[in-house]
Homo-oligomer: A and B are copies of this chain.
């Protein structure tokens, strides 16, 4: 069985999205700065069907986000912001006809909907019976490969509190968003125990990889 892993960009003040997420591709106001390190990379552009791009110390991280990934789990905000688009079953996500996932994507929601098959191997499945069910379905679809948690903050907090993530890569970006969605919030007493596995200095970002400590505190 593969790992259940998360790779996410976070501002120095702890946000993974700015305010008004529904307004701007789910990243909120100012949130696009969180991805300034990844967008110019060859590894990112290839995943989006584009040529060229940079290779630098961030490349292994960008490659790892969807590398060896057999399925993806994501929250409803990540698939489609605010109540506006989501209320409409013609909404197909932020990524156009050929999303960069190229694998089954399990979207956690309270809204029942038929699976949505896109180009390039991405099919969105809508899961209404909770995070454990979504992970189970994703693991089953992924086989021996990893399952990637696609965000956003709400769903990530739920998986963290449940202690289900095997690996987290936090890419810390030197910007302040001031408000929005904080990644490590609402964990209650169920704080996961992590150990630092690796840190990588890259242009304009530091990537830190954490592994779950097997024995709960």
Footprint of B on A, CB under 8 Å?
Answer: 12-14, 170, 172, 174-176, 178, 182, 184-185, 187-189, 191-192, 194-196, 198-201, 204-206, 208, 210
Contact = CB atoms under 8 A, between A and B. Distances in A.
Contacts of A201: 196, 198-200
Nearest to A37: B196
Contacts of A188: 178
A198 B46 CA distance: 29
A191 to B, nearest CB: 4
A195 to B, nearest CB: 6
A191 B206 contact: no
A127 B210 CA distance: 42
Contacts of A12: 170, 184, 194, 210
* 4 closest residue pairs by CB, A with B: A199-B201, A13-B184, A176-B191, A199-B206
Contact of A13 (B14, B174, B198): B14
A205 B198 CA distance: 10
Contacts of A182: 14
8 contacts: A13-B14, A13-B185, A14-B184, A174-B194, A178-B189, A196-B206, A199-B199, A199-B201
A187 B14 contact: no
A176 to B, nearest CB: 4
